[in-house]
Amino acid sequence: MHREQLIFVRGTSIKSQARTLPADYYNKLQLLFAHAHNKQVFIPIRSMQFLAVFDKQEVIFVHSSSKQCIQLSWHHFKPQQRDTLHDPVAYQCDYYEAESLDIMLRLHGEFYRALEIMEEKQPKPKPASVTSLLDRKKQQDNS
């Protein structure tokens, strides 16, 4: 089995900012990560020509024009600080390139759309029915 190794370069952060991620985003990320068996998840954001790479620690964003250079990273997620699963999750955003500051607002919306597309591609669980042991016993007794 051939495995390709991807290497991403992280420059010096030009700005760091505390932010919150809506619960829907964070919850979708966690589900995709679980379906990937706790391996990296690659999320193409085609509308912006970005690739998001998510692992247990962070989400990094690279642009197609400089595929190895990290432009943004979201990390230090703090889901334990929220009271319910519907509350936003605090995290830290680091910017590595000046244009990343302008990209961030659009990226939030486009990233969510990309998450929804990835979620749609996940295999759907098959419907199941549950039969009570008591019901089964009654069926056997009636036979």
Q: Domain ranges in the chain?
A: 15-142
**Confidence at residue 71, expressed as pLDDT on a 0 to 100 scale:** 94
**Confidence at residue 125, expressed as pLDDT on a 0 to 100 scale:** 60
**Confidence at residue 74, expressed as pLDDT on a 0 to 100 scale:** 95
Please determine, for residue 105, whether its predicted confidence score (pLDDT) is greater than 90.
no
Q: Of 69, 87, 70, 76, nearest to 24 (Cα)?
A: 87
Q: Where are the beta strands (DSSP E) in the chain?
A: 15-21, 41-45, 50-54, 58-63, 66-78, 89-95
Q: What is the arithmetic mean of pLDDT over 90-115?
A: 90
**β-strand partners of 93:** 17, 74
**Confidence at residue 142, expressed as pLDDT on a 0 to 100 scale:** 65
Reported pTM: 0.79
Please determine, for residue 80, whether its predicted confidence score (pLDDT) is greater than 90.
yes
Nearest 5°: phi and psi at 74? -115, 125
Lowest-confidence range among 31-35, 41-45, 64-68, 132-136?
Answer: 132-136
Lowest-confidence range among 3-12, 35-44, 117-126, 128-137?
Answer: 128-137
Q: Residue for token digits 């197609």?
A: 64
The predicted-structure confidence for 2-36, as pLDDT tens digits, reads as follows: 566 778 999 999 999 999 999 999 998 988 888 88
